[in-house]
Amino acid sequence: QSNEIRIAHIYSKTGPLEAYGKQTQTGLMMGLDYATGGTMMVNGKKLVVIEKDDQGKPDLGKSLLAAAYADDKAAIAVGPTSSGVALAMLPVAEEYKKILLVEPAVADSITGDKWNKYIFRTGRNSSQDAISNAVAIDKPGVTVATLAQDNAFGRDGVKAFKDALKKAKLAHEEYLPAATTDFTAGAQRLIDKLKDQPGRKIIWIVWAGAGNPFKIVDLDLKRYNIEIATGGNILPAMAAYKALPGMEGAAYYYFGIPKNPVNEAMVAAHYKEFKTPPDFFTAGGFSAAMALVTALKKTGGDTNTNKLISTMEGMSFDTPKGKMTFRKEDHQAMQSMYHFKIKVDPAFAWGVPELVHEIKPEEMDIPIRNKR
Amino acid sequence: MISRLLSNDMPRNRLLALLLLAVVLGLAFAPFIFPGVKALSVAAKVLVFIVLVASFDLLLGYTGIVSFAQTMFFGIGAYGVAISATRLGSGWGALLLGLGVALAISLVLSLAIGLFSLRVRAIFFAMITLAVASAFQTLASQMSDFTGGEDGLTFKLPELISPSFEFAEEPFLGVSLDGRLLCYYLLFVLAVVLVLALLRIVNSPFGRVLQAIRENEFRAEAIGYRVVVYRTTASVLSALFATLAGAMLAIWLRYNGPDTSLSFEIMIDVLLIVVIGGMGTMYGAVVGSVIFVVAQSYLQDLLRIGSEAASGLPGLSSLLSPDRWLLWLGVLFVLSVYYFPTGIVGRLRK
Amino acid sequence: MTTTNLLELSGVHTHIGAYHILHGVNLAVPKGQLTMLLGRNGAGKTTTLRTIMGLWHASQGSVRFGSTDITAMHTPQIAELGIAYVPENMGIFSDLTVKENMLLAARAAKNADQMDDARLKWIFKLFPAVEKFWNHPAGKLSGGQKQMLAVSRAIVEPRELLIVDEPSKGLAPAIINNMIDAFSELKKSGVTILLVEQNINFAQRLGDTVAVMDNGAVVHSGSMAAFSADEALQQSLLGLAL
Amino acid sequence: MNKDFDWKPLALVPLLALIALPLTGSVSTWLTLTVAGLAMGMIIFIIASGLTLVFGLMDVLNFGHGVFIALGAFVASTVLGGMSDWTGSQELWRNLVAVFPAMLVAMLVAGAVGLAFERFIVRPVYGQHLKQILITMGGMIIGEELIKVIWGPGQIPLPLPDALRGSLFIGDAAISKYRILAVIVGVFVFGLLAWTLGRTKIGLLIRAGVQDREMVESLGYRIGRIFVGVFVVGSALAGLGGVMWGLFQQNLIPQMGAQVNVLIFIVIIIGGLGSTTGALIGALLVGLMNNYTGFLMPTLTQFASIFLMVAVLLWRPQGVYPVANR
Amino acid sequence: MLETRNLTIRFGGHVAVNAVSCAFAPGTLTAIVGPNGAGKTTYFNLISGQLKATEGTVTLDGQSLSGLPASARTRAGLGRAFQLTNLFPNLTVLENVRLAVQATREGAHRRGLNLWSIWSDHRALTERADQILADVALKAKEHATVASLPHGDQRKLEVALLMALEPKVFMFDEPTAGMNAAEAPVILDLIRALKKDKTKTILLVEHKMDVVRELADRIIVLHNGQLVADGEPSEVIASPVVQEAYLGVAKEVA
Ligand SMILES: Nc1ncnc2c1ncn2[C@@H]1O[C@H](COP(=O)(O)OP(=O)(O)OP(=O)(O)O)[C@@H](O)[C@H]1O
Ligand SMILES: Nc1ncnc2c1ncn2[C@@H]1O[C@H](COP(=O)(O)OP(=O)(O)OP(=O)(O)O)[C@@H](O)[C@H]1O
Ligand SMILES: [Mg+2]
Ligand SMILES: [Mg+2]
């Protein structure tokens, strides 16, 4: 027992987010492998990953996490894929006094008002997403309207984005039901609000899910000089960007952008194993692994929770996205984001984001929202 | 005595009686027989489903009404507890208030749906409830200030039934005596009482009229029963019991969200359990819930063993992959309709 | 007179679920004649007809139609051989109109215009209600009107054998007369008919041969004339004298 | 039939549009919304048309219908993926040449799977609604999982061929080109269905078979085969609908079938279970209603079609064209 | 006293029952005859509330029944057996009858809504049901499910349900149709016994003229929805309307 360090990875092996969850798992395993130099050992202790499938169901995630800590004696847990599951899990970590390293659930409240001291997060939060986008398009003379899902994810995103806009003017916020398939009506409202504005006009879209809001370009926004901006996404979703050459925004990750040895190693390993580039969530899983191994190495393989917490607070570690640092106050990993511009390259099935500017953590003022 | 308790509706088959006895004993001593957090969660889920499915059987099996809104009432119960605990704190008062409000809402809603829709064709009723239930789900995620949206609500309950409460230092038979255990037994008692109550209802003169209506509504009206009254009463009762089941779920999980109590998936599980167990027999709800919930909870583990065994055969192992557990659940759906047309209870009693 | 049998059941046993209903039915329906099948309620008459039509299958014994063994054939195939069947419950498609009901029975017609006019006229004359309610939903007809429609459907096209289960029930006396006329005309045109009937007068006026069932077996068969004459036999088989 | 044709439901469509006119404010906005809504209605009609046959006429509550829609879309993505030369072309005819075989293959595959579905899943439960719900639900789950096995669990793109992107303009109002294609396909499907069911005996036979299968067999029809045939056609139409829906969405997820289920059930119910004209009207009303509420009160869009259904049922409890007296 | 006044129903243009006014006194058996489609069943439907009259009223002992639904009319004392058998197919014979007994005995509407007593405790109901089954000679089959009964037995059960309701007014719609000549007397004996009671109003739709002749105190004739004759059985049967429109001149068979 003492020769093992058990890590539970709870994620959507099945369910609507299956594809995302699997990327995380791939990244996590690759990351552990890379960080331990292929040995899967830290200080003579073997790292054992226990996989659990939350199916995207919060209640299930909750009981799985409890079972992982209690029945499987996991020292640390990683996951989950969906924010809803993560929020249900937070109290369990507190109950069992064990660390939960959140990756890639994004809701702000995980490291905000629902946070407790056992929670760390390597993944970016909604604010980081929104603020980096704001930084990317915030210029004087620009008029922005937002198009978002009418749920907590969309509204949080727009709020953070709005708060971060300093120079540009916000003309309108459009919220559509998450299940929207036909965007004509929403687009028409946006056009009505924007068409008579002076200067550069941008619709900033924050959308996750099945619908495809980019179809609104079919209404020929160019007539009114309206542009579209949005964040990055997984590769299949970026296929829609092919129709939007020149579109700008800020992304969490794209395999071609960060230039560092860790990323190069990951991309190479991924090509080797799957013949495809790593995606969004692969990078996340990899980062989580790097954080874990870095911390465990520092404690000398000791999994005592309090010791781990004090080690990890303020800890910096290398990731495919460069250096990240767990902020002491809310345990959120501070990280770079990437201002990109879409280029169409026939060699790729998706619109290729080209780096315009790396937005360093210092350039973003990410609010601390927990009540510590 | 036992026969009165069961409202003179005895299992009428030795195997079924043994099975039921095993289920009751198993659930009564679950914390001691099946150690571990997961096992206890599964047992608690079984208890909740028994009540939920039994409440649905009152509607489907006994009255012959196909409704897809059962999870809506289930959700109302769960949200009632969740919202009041979130807003009013973790006292018993808040818990009971939430439950009371939830029951009242379910009553009004089921009455309204019942009076409107029971007049249209049966199949329309089914589709209308489907639509209403999906609208309700949307509503729950749109009113996120109140319901926590898609993320749901995590809340605290009275100390006595919370895991942190320990009423004895020493574990008993290897089981730590804490609030979680008390919570489980609270659920257990509730489930027993509610199922016996439902059994009483279906074996009352009222229950017989419901069956008559299921068989031939026109004739039931002709011999003097006001069909609308009976059917509406049945839908309301069923909604109230489902609400109670929802509250039980929320009490156990100390969490609630749309996926947990409102999703269509749960509705389908409930339908399937009714059919596997045997429609129109409360015992079917009990036996079906145990079998289904246990199978669902351990199917992935089972498949993992299967796929490891089949790892030599690439095609088979990708089908046996634990990630494709739903595939096998689907197959279970199909097979159970093929081979248990009258359900387990029906087959045993034959 | 030597007659060949158009339909012949020998030693037919039929089970419905766990129940053994027919216990070795032997029944011959001579070609060109009208055979009456009599018996108490529950004797197995309906079951016999359904077994002939392949709606239930005999577990033992055989059913022959002309030179074909139809014991194991499926209902549509049996019907295609030239058998029309009016079931006990009439089998009216109540959502469809009378016209549509008739059209379905007319297999050769692709649409209403292609139905045989002369034959329709004849049917309308026998059963005026069918014409009167031509475009009404059949479910709205009165009990007797439904019965008329059911029989009309069976005769909308010529068939070699007509099997009818209690056609006279619920019909007004005047219509029963029409029905009798119809069956005698059909018989004249060479159609073989097998009728189950409770209305003894009806049976007596039309039948050439008779078979009496009891407890799932045929207990008597012979010519109608002989049966009519033998009161003691009637008394013992049916519990009444004709 | 034409003399006493019931025109009232038909008038609902322009009526709804007229009511919306003053509410939307500007004529060009109204026109954009109306045309888009009608075209959307046509797409909905195409995906619902198969269900008119299967649920409406055959009375099979097929909750698995959505899986055929998904299947059609995924098959199309494979076919179109292999013809990128044609889809990537700027010329309309080349694009259409690519889309056409995609539709054909999708229909063939969906129809073939429908054949198996009928045989193994639906056949034992004709006439038993509850069991139909369960067993087809099981079929749906199996189908969805098999799609995941074949095409992977994630989202995959189905880009619209180049020449079908963008819009045409009437004054200030924009009409996307793809929707015009959808209208053409929709009208074609409608014509074909209306003709088959109205001018041949097949519709009658199915309705009769649902009521009293034994009697139809006793009349000498092999109702089993007819049912298989209709089910296959229904599935193939769902496959076609899947291609149209997929190209409209431009990306596909395995769950897409389940997502449209409620929508198409609503359309069929409004239409009166089995009436092709009714389904068309239902689809157009839903399409318009969604667009108008989407513009006027976006938060209520999700409830718009349900509201519409309840309103229609209050007016005509059997749907706009109850099939019994079509 | 059951009375209909000006009772009318139209289906589109078709007037199925046309302004029928008629009173039926307790202690009499009135036979209703008429060609198929004359409106006999529809007339019953209007009286018992299965159809809503376009015009006209139905009163029972001075109490108006017009606005009431079928169930309320049954509770007020109208009992009805159907022409096309209409039972609870998957319940047993005994349960069918027991349900009917429960429906009307001793203020039993409340008993029907009784959620909490155990059904099988109500012994009196079972005993009464058993007795009725004995009356219609179905006792031997009381545990059979209805769906498996032959047609004739289902007809008997149909009558048994009516008996169980113990109504003031008995409405029989061709009770012996499809019943074997040896079995029919069971039902006819029951009707005779009811007649002896002298307090019951009995309406009987029947096409078999020998039955009508023997049982009826009075015959009314419906033709195309209209009441065209009313009176003594022998008179009515002899009248030209009946001879021509109904019996098909003198070729009587039944
Ligand atoms: N579905 C069934 N299941 C079980 N038994 C049945 C079924 N149908 C009929 N029987 C039984 O079969 C026997 C014969 O019934 P059948 O209907 O053939 O009688 P019949 O001679 O036509 O009577 P009737 O004159 O009343 O119509 C009866 O005892 C009946 O109870
Ligand atoms: N719901 C309805 N809609 C339209 N027409 C109807 C309806 N019910 C009955 N009719 C018509 O009213 C007429 C009277 O029918 P009814 O059933 O009362 O006849 P009946 O006298 O009982 O005949 P039978 O002796 O054949 O049973 C028939 O022509 C029938 O078609
Ligand atoms: Mg019979
Ligand atoms: Mg009648």
What are the φ/ψ torsions at residue A172 (nearest 5 degrees)? -165, 145
Strand, coil or helix: B350: coil
pLDDT at C242 over 60: no
d(CA C161, CA C7): 9
Query: What number does the ligand 2 atom closest to the CA of E222 have?
Result: 21
Give the residue with greater pLDDT, A218 vs B83. B83
- Is C2 touching ligand 1 by the criterion CB < 6 Å? no
ipTM comes to 0.86
Q: What is the CA radius of gyration of chain C?
A: 18
Give the Cα separation of E203 and C216 in Å (integer).
36
Note the Cα A21 to chain centre separation in Å: 12
Classify B342 as helix, strand or coil: coil
pLDDT above 80 (res E152)? yes
CA of E205 to the centre of ligand 1 (A): 26
- Alpha carbon distance E208, E177 (integer Å): 9
Per-residue pLDDT of chain A (372 residues; tens, 9 = 90+): 468 999 999 999 988 888 899 999 999 999 999 999 999 999 999 999 999 999 999 999 999 999 999 999 999 999 899 998 999 999 999 999 999 999 999 999 999 989 999 999 999 999 999 999 999 999 999 999 999 988 778 888 899 899 989 899 999 999 988 888 889 889 989 998 998 898 899 999 998 877 788 888 888 788 888 999 998 888 988 888 888 899 999 999 999 999 999 999 999 999 999 999 999 999 999 999 999 999 999 999 999 999 999 999 999 999 999 999 999 999 999 999 999 999 999 889 899 999 999 999 999 989 998 876
- Report pLDDT for E249: 53
CA torsion sign for E108, E114, E120, E123 is negative
Distances (CA, A) of A133 to A327, A341, A359, D50: 21, 12, 10, 44
Tens digit of pLDDT for each residue in D255-278? 898 888 888 989 998 998 888 999
Residue C170 CA, closest ligand 2 atom number: 25
For chain B, the 3-state helix, strand and coil shares in percent, each to the nearest 5, are 75, 0, 20
Is the backbone peptide bond immediately before D161 cis, with ω within 30 degrees of 0?
no
Residue E237 has pLDDT above 90, yes or no: no
Q: In what order do the strands lie in the sheet with E63-64?
A: E14-24, E2-11, E55-60, E63-64
The set of residues, in sequence order, having a beta carbon less than 8 Å from that of B244 and lying 6+ positions away, is: B51, B55, B77, B99, B103, B190, B194
Task: State the pTM of this model.
Answer: 0.89
Which helix H or strand E contains A161, and what residues bound it?
Answer: helix A152-164
E248 three-state secondary structure:
coil
Measuring from atom 2 of ligand 2, which residue has the nearest CA?
C140
Q: Is B234 exposed, middle or buried (0-12, 13-18, 19+ CB in 10 A)?
A: buried
Q: To the nearest whole angstrom, how far is the Cα of D316 from the nearest Cα of chain C?
A: 17
Average pLDDT, chain C: 89
Residue nearest to atom 31 of ligand 1 (CA): E149
Please list the residues that pair with E173 across neighbouring strands.
Answer: E205
Helices of type H across chain D: 8-24, 27-51, 65-81, 84-87, 92-117, 129-151, 177-199, 202-211, 213-218, 223-249, 256-271, 276-296, 301-315
pLDDT of residue E205 exceeding 60: yes
How many Å lie between the alpha carbon of B229 and the closest alpha carbon of chain E?
A: 9
- pLDDT value at residue A337: 96
Neighbours of ion ligand 3 (CB under 5 A): C 46, 88; E 151
| E26/E202 Cα distance (integer angstroms) | 8
Q: What is the pLDDT of residue E251?
A: 42
Structure tokens at D42: 């046509």
* Nearest chain B CA: its distance from D204 CA (Å): 21
Residue E87 pLDDT? 92
Q: Which element (helix H / strand E) includes E4?
A: strand E2-11
E42 lines ligand 2 (CB under 6 A): yes
Confidence category of residue B235, pLDDT binned at 50, 70, 90: very high
- Tens digits of per-residue pLDDT, B170-207? 777 777 788 889 999 999 999 999 999 999 999 998 99
Q: Which residues contact A326 (CB under 8 A, 6 or more apart)?
A: A120, A291, A312, A313, A314, A315, A332, A333, A334
Give the Å distance between the CA of E71 and the centre of ligand 4: 21
DSSP-based three-state secondary structure for B156 = coil
Decide if B308 touches A, using CB distance below 8 A: no
C199-208, D227-236, E63-72: the lowest-pLDDT one = C199-208
Q: Edge to edge, what strands does the sheet with A337-343 contain?
A: A169-176, A142-149, A200-206, A226-230, A248-251, A337-343, A352-359
pLDDT grade, residue E110 (50/70/90)?
low
* pLDDT of amino acid E107: 52
What whole-number distance in Å separates Cα of residue C95 and Cα of residue C212?
37
Q: For an interface test with D, which of C75, C94, C163 has the most D Cβ atoms less than 10 Å from its Cβ? A: C75
DSSP string, A210-277: S--GGGGGGGTGGGGTEEEEE----TTGGGGGGG-TT-EEEES--TTS--SHHHHHHHHHHHHHHSS-
- Partners of residue C200 in chain E, C-beta under 8 Å: 181
Chain C residues within 8 angstroms (CB to CB) of chain D: 53, 55, 74-76, 79-80, 85, 87, 91, 93-96, 100-101, 103-105, 107, 110-111, 137, 153
The alpha-carbon gap from E217 to the nearest alpha carbon of chain B, in Å, equals 27
Q: Hey, what are C129's tokens?
A: 């209600």
Whole-number Å distance between alpha carbons of E71 and D67: 45
Question: What angle separates helix A152-164 from helix A126-137, to the nearest 10 degrees?
Answer: 40
Interface partners of chain B (CB pairs < 8 Å, 3 or more) are: A, D, E
Measured in Å, how far apart are chain C's first and last C-alpha atoms? 26
pLDDT band of residue E254 (cuts 50, 70, 90) is very low
State the DSSP H helix or E strand holding residue B267, giving kind and residue range, or none if neither.
helix B264-277
Taking the CA of residue C39 as reference, the ligand 1 atom at the shortest distance is 21
Report which residue type is found at A13.
K
Rounded to an integer, the average pLDDT of E27-43 is 92
Q: Which ligand is closest to the CA of C139, given by its number? A: 2
For residue E239, pLDDT beyond 60? yes
Domain definitions of chain C by residue range: 89-158
More confident residue, C235 or D212: D212
Please give the distance, rounded to the nearest whole angstrom, from the Cα atom of residue C171 to the centre of ligand 4. 9
Residue count of chain B, please give it: 350
Judge residue D277's burial from the number of C-beta atoms within 10 Å of its C-beta, 0-12 exposed, 13-18 middle, 19 or more buried: buried
Is E246 in CB contact (< 8 Å) with chain C? yes
Nearest-by-Cβ selection for D211 from C87, C94, C153: C94
Q: How far apart are CA D230 and CA D213, in angstroms?
A: 15
- Identity of residue A362: E
Contacting residues of D for B119, CB less than 8 Å apart? 317
| Calpha distance D303→B134 (Å, rounded) | 9
Q: What angle do CA B36, B41, B47 make, to 5 degrees?
A: 130
Cis peptide before A104 (omega within 30 of 0): yes
The chain B residue lying nearest A83, using CA atoms, is B151
User: For B285-304, how does the pLDDT look when each residue is reduced to its tens digit (9 = 90+)?
Assistant: 999 999 999 988 888 888 88
D141 close contact with A: CB closer than 8 A: no
Q: If you average pLDDT over residues B90-96, what whole number do you get?
A: 92
Please state the rounded mean pLDDT for residues B65-88.
Answer: 94
Name the nearest CA neighbour of A182 among D13, D290, B142. D290
Model pLDDT, residue A372? 67
Q: What is the pLDDT of residue B118?
A: 67
Cβ atoms of residues B137 and B263 within 8 Å: yes
Cβ contact (<8 Å) for D219 and C74?
Answer: no
Q: For residue D3, is pLDDT > 70?
A: no
Angular region, C75: left φ>0, alpha ψ -120 to 50, beta rest: alpha
**High-pLDDT (> 70) share of chain D, %:** 97
Position D4 scores a pLDDT of: 61
Chains that touch D (3 or more CB pairs under 8 A): A, B, C
Give the pLDDT of residue A291: 97
- Give the number of C-alpha atoms closer than 13 A to the C-alpha of residue B348, restricted to the C-beta side: 21
With CB atoms and an 8 Å threshold, state whether D262 touches B341.
no
Beta-carbon contacts below 8 Å between A and B: 82
Rounded to a whole number of angstroms, the distance from the CA of C86 to the nearest CA of chain E is: 14
Contact state of D176 with A22 under an 8 Å Cβ cutoff: no
Chain B residues within an 8 Å CB radius of E166: none
pLDDT of residue D2: 44
Exposure string of C114-124, with b = 16+ CB inside 10 Å and e = fewer, is ebeeeebeebe
Q: DSSP 3-state assignment of C219? A: strand
The residue whose CA is least distant from atom 1 of ligand 1 is E148
Q: A313-367, pLDDT tens digit by residue?
A: 999 999 999 999 999 999 999 999 999 999 999 889 899 999 999 999 999 989 9
CA distances from B227 to B214, B232, B267, E76 (A): 10, 8, 26, 16
